[in-house]
Structure 1
Amino acid sequence: MHTSDETQEVTDENWEPKIIAFLCNWCSYAGADLAGVSRIQYPPNVRVVRVPCSGRINPLHVLKSLQVGVDAVLVSGCHPGDCHYISGNYYARRKFSVLNDLLEFIGIEKGRVNFSWVSAAEGEAFAQVIRDVTEKTRKLGPNKIFKEDQ
């Protein structure tokens, strides 16, 4: 049993966005690592899932993330032409173009799912992407699309 001191209700004043980032191992994850070792500051709202390639991300994982209450999703891969697996990032770009159309159709606001290219040498660029996604998500507010109590 929790007392009122042990639990804190989330209100508009203390709400912080929860963001999940699917990062390709070879570029975006390495860019995140570079940002970390370079001590580049960015919001702590993001949780990283390291994947072999952005082209391997199943769009259903993005939808499931939103369904369980994540406020935004970021998918980030290698720049076009620089994929470790030759064309994985091209597959990812096509998948997420179609996914964005589906998200719009089912009523999920533009900006809940984000896609970016970040190379291993772009630690500052990675930090800026996280800042941008966090700010965009703050403006959108909490993800309520799948909440039953609406």
Structure 2
Amino acid sequence: MGLEPRVLAFTCTYCAYAAAEAAGVSKLQYPPHIYVIRLPCSGMFKSYYVFKALREGFDSILWSGCHPPYDCHFINGNYKARVKAQLLKAYLKQLGFEDQRFRLEWISAGEPDKFARIAKEMVEEAIKTPKIIFLEHHEAVDK
């Protein structure tokens, strides 16, 4: 696990991913420490993705989708995303994770500047936030 911040962005195909691509094509400046994964829809995001990402060394997770109420190509995926995100954020807080480790944002295809700004903000926050260190079960028992 390196010292560079790592932010994982889950983006819906039609809006947030298109904005991320447009940000790159437009040569908008944002840190290279953000890794983008395309989902068909933000409503198809699974909560365990967050835990897997944190376990794999990512400092924070961006979950982004189409603007409510009418931008979702799957009709109500953004509503599903909002409900899942509220529950997940509460659960992460109970587990002791900082709020800035997880963020839900609505980003349309026409907002590459917003994607770049949010990516920059999340990387800056990740730099300030302490790294997570997971102990393997046998390490914790042996010490």
Instruction: Give the TM-score of the pair, scaled to structure 1.
Output: 0.86
Alpha-carbon spacing, 1:147–1:134, altered in 2? closer, same or farther (3 Å)? farther
Question: Secondary structure in 1 aligned to 2:105?
Answer: strand
Q: Which runs of 5+ in 1 are unaligned?
A: 1-8
Structure 2 match to 1:24: 12
Larger fraction in helix: 2
Q: Find out whether 1:117 has 2:106 as its counterpart.
A: yes
Q: CA deviation at 1:90?
A: 0.6
Equivalent positions of 1:1-150 (< 5 A) are 10=2, 15-81=3-69, 82-144=71-133, 146-148=134-136
Alpha-carbon distance in structure 1 between the residues aligned to 2:66 and 2:60: 20
> How many angstroms does 1:89 deviate by?
0.6
Shift of 1:141: 2.7
Structure whose CA Rg is larger: 1
Matched to 2:120, the amino acid is R
Output the amino acid matched with 2:91.
L
Letter in 1 for 2:24: G
SS at match of 1:138: helix
Which residue of the partner structure matches residue 4 of structure 1? none
Unaligned runs of 5+ in 2: none
Deviation at 1:147, TM superposition (A): 3.8
The amino acid of 1:96's aligned partner reads: A
RMSD over equivalenced CA pairs, Å: 1.6
Q: Match of 1:36, SS? A: helix
The SS at the match of 1:89 is helix
Cα deviation per residue 1:82-132 (whole Å; 9 max; x = unaligned)? 111111011001001000000000111111111111100001110001011
